[in-house]
Structure 1
Amino acid sequence: MKMTAANLTKLPGDALKAVYGMNGDTVLYWAHHEKLCLVDDHIAFMGGLDLCYGRWDSWQHSIADAHPGDLNKTVFPGQDFNNARILDFSDVAHWDQNKLDRRYNSRMGWSDMSISLMGPVVEDLRRHFAERWNFIYQEKYSSKNSADRYSPLHVSESRNGIVHHDYPSSPDAPLPEHMRERMMERWEESRERMDGFREQVRHHFPNSRHPPPPPPGMPCQIMRSCTKWSHGTDSTEHSIQNAYIEVIRNSHHFIYIENQFFITATGDSQRPIKNQIGAAIVERIVRAAREGEPYHVIVIMPAIPAFAGDLKSDEALGTREILELQYDSINRGGNSIMESIAREGIDPMQYIRFYNLRNYDRINSGGAMRDAEEQSGVSYDDARQDYDQRYGSQNNEYAQGGAYNNEDQQYGGGGQNNRFERYQEATQNIGSHSGLSSGQWDSVASCYMLNGEDIRNVPWEDGTTDEMDAFVSELLYVHSKLLIADDRVVICGSANLNDRSQLGDHDSEIAICIEDPREIDSYMAGRPWRATEFAASLRRLIFRKHLGLLPAQDVTRPDQNFEPIGVPNAYDWGSREDEAVIDPLSSDFSSLWNNTARNNTQAFERVFHPVPSDSVRNWKDYDEYFSRFFPSGKDAKEEKGKEPSKPSQWKLGHVVAEEFPGGVQEVKEVLSQIRGTLVEMPLLFLKEEDIAKEGLTLNAMTEEIYT
């Protein structure tokens, strides 16, 4: 029996306890979900970014990565080219064994947030790590047989109130001290330490092109989700949830949330959901409406969880369960955020809105690729596989030890592994192909960014694929765990907005709350407002990226924004694009934001028929809108060559070609209207269906896993 979500629902309770690991009625199927890297007790990196394949990305999030004129221009080698909606990671120990053919399939873009830190806060993070390490050491490795391999870490004396703070155990309990006051007090205590760190910055970055100025320091608070199983603590800590609730309740005008999940409760009637972040949102919006205050919440999240499979299949039951829990948190089920606000006689759409991200690209599989394949006698994908192996083995001891020493295996020798050289040599003789062999148009993602070329003017030559079928689209996966309040306060960390991350006794998490003391002049709802430099610049940069108001990044020419802390980020304060997003409550911004989201949504649905979609209210609609064009279980490579007159019937994420009698120019006309990656979240998707439980019954314990 395969351990699919559908099959797990049929297991008896005792079997589920064995599968998930149970102690009494406590589910132990949780994870150490933190993302934390400490370097020399000096610099810390933390946030939502995993240290694994498929996470690195650029502002434009290019999803095409075929380079027919030069394989050395590959941006995402090996399994870094990943699309979890089509094919999940497999055999990751062999990173070069990528089974996703990039001649026909796109990758999935990755939108994430991580923070680089320096100063006394690194001491607190080190102590947190040492405590975790020592707890696990005592639990697993302190035996005589393991003593030589591992050893405990020294834990320095804790500075008062940073890690071991005195948050109450209940999110509803009154806080004994306002977080901001506590943060400011701790910051004042730490300012003297910063002088020493300033010299350390210069020591660690002696050759930087941008000599670092003395860091001003910012008051901050480390927060955690941890309990006995994850950290050995006597009590459960959920200070991240407490911080979310407090910051939302005390916000003046604006909350921005960007998170991988949105599963939360507005009270005690949404079991199995328990965290009360949704209740804080409802409370704050109702108070703003009754007092006539300008107030707004913007939430950006993925359109769908990044799991492979057709939504209608049994294997996608877990995905559908998450979707249902999220919709029940947002606008369905009787106790959602929007329904709770509406019961107070308030239009929720005036105060809170939800959005997703999506983008498109064009795979350069035309005439240049055809000619290179014909002249070399090597397919592009075979040459690409050899490139991946070569790329990964350059500094690999296994390769240096002789794995490629014989003539049949050595790169450049007489065996099949010289396919890369043969292909590369052929590219020197294929001509320019209207610039398509130069690499300039290996991706067209820059077309929807600032100062990008109009897609209608980008050249193409038919070859391996015609241009209509070279266009691809995919959701841009939001993996951030970020909250920005009033352009003054930032919460960033590893914690998703769901019970697993927020309750403390499920997944272990870490986050930081930052309030920059450097104030700047700004606006809220057309009125002067004192924002802070860090929060305001971060929020504006993110909004501009989503709206296409940033230029595409040249990944071969990293700038100072690629550097860790110590090198200041560049931001063009006062530019026209900055002014466009300065006031998130102004009517001009609201028009720009919502019109962009609406226009992009309509364009993507017209060309690619993505799901979820508001036009799909039930499974019959789903079949008519999606399934008849994209049969389940068929990726682009498997069905290559079938029904060439209707390519969209078998290529997931490609153009629904039969709906464009005017040909590819008609497609380009629609795509030319897209700016950035912002789209509306389809709140009516499958509204007439019980999304998760059609023909199945979810076990209460598996429901807890998904919340």
Structure 2
Amino acid sequence: MSPEIFLKRPVVEGNRWRLDCVLKRKAQQGVKIFVMLYKEVELALGINSEYSKRTLMHLHPNIKPVRYVAPNGAKTKNPAFVQLEDTGVMRHPDHVSSSVYLWAHHEKIVVVDQSVAFVGGIDLAYGRWDDREHRLTDVGSVTRAAAVDQEKSHMPNSPQGASGLHGPPTNGKSPRSPDSEDLPKLKGAAHTRRARFSLYRHLHRRHLSDSISSVDSTEDKTGSLRSLQTGVGELMGDTRFWHGKDYCNFVYKDWIQLEKPFDDFIDRYTTPRMPWHDIASVVHGKAARDVARHFIQRWNFTKIMKPKYRSLSYPFLLPKSHATANELRYQVPDCINTKVQILRSAADWSAGIKYHEESIHNAYIQVIAKSKHFIYIENQFFISCADNKQVHNKIGDAIIERIIRAYKYVWVR
């Protein structure tokens, strides 16, 4: 987890949407934040979770991180947030008692009020933010435009008065407010596929909300954005999307000095960044309750297992009832109603349960066995050795059995 990453790009409102600032702002509003971090083997993985934990704990009393480390060295919990009775941040497991260090168990979830849960493969970490353009370089700089007329002189084909948002021009000039001399304009010659961003809140604080319309509505046929009257200065060119350690290429070089988040560690003028492509999902209602219960079970188990977390400053968490799961105060836009089931991997070392749960593994096998035409598998870590008795993953066996069954069916027919 990288506390200093920006959740919205490009950065046009200072640190407002930086992760640590967002968490601090919500903590100041009374939200209780609980974070579980994977406690890595430092020689094998240089993610410096101790720095992340220390940074979060210094933000506000309502934030206390926890690093999670399993006895067998499995990677478990990445950041998860639940609003409950108190706060905490923990790291787990401890690797000293085990000789297994390189096994990775990925889990990335964010839960809000036990009503909305984000589940997927995207870490709140450096290098993860990306868009469909998957840029290989990010060396753009921001410069101030000398004047609006100078800007227009470089766009002779642009319609007259296209830089205004106050309506059609009058006598070739856009209407000006009394304070227009003190209100610089944001200039963006962006391509249509460039990530759109909103300045409404920023303008609202300067009593300019009436002068702004949707960014989408200001996009003309040439793909450029009209000028918006803002208070952030007159900007020309491209702003950087990835700042400091966020500009990375983990194939070329691993992260170093994570305690200096805004210092580059690779030369962005000679080394391309490594794009990131991953998926995530969001669920509401009872499914979100199940994700929350999974986190709560892991949290409470870690509190019991690690003596330093047994104090009252790290509370036990309580799950909410399923009876109220459908009482949603808010919902992520563009979601659809469907039936879902939460699957997980859990065992004695991760959740304190006597019999391990492998519902993800079982679901893989069941789907493969019931396949009719094709099987498509995309997986970063596909471990399934036929002759290795130490690997209990049966996915490879299930694929072979399905192929043999299909072969016999063809011959019988």
How does the TM-score come out when normalised to structure 2? Answer: 0.50
Which of the two has greater helix per residue? 1
How does the TM-score come out when normalised to structure 1? Answer: 0.30
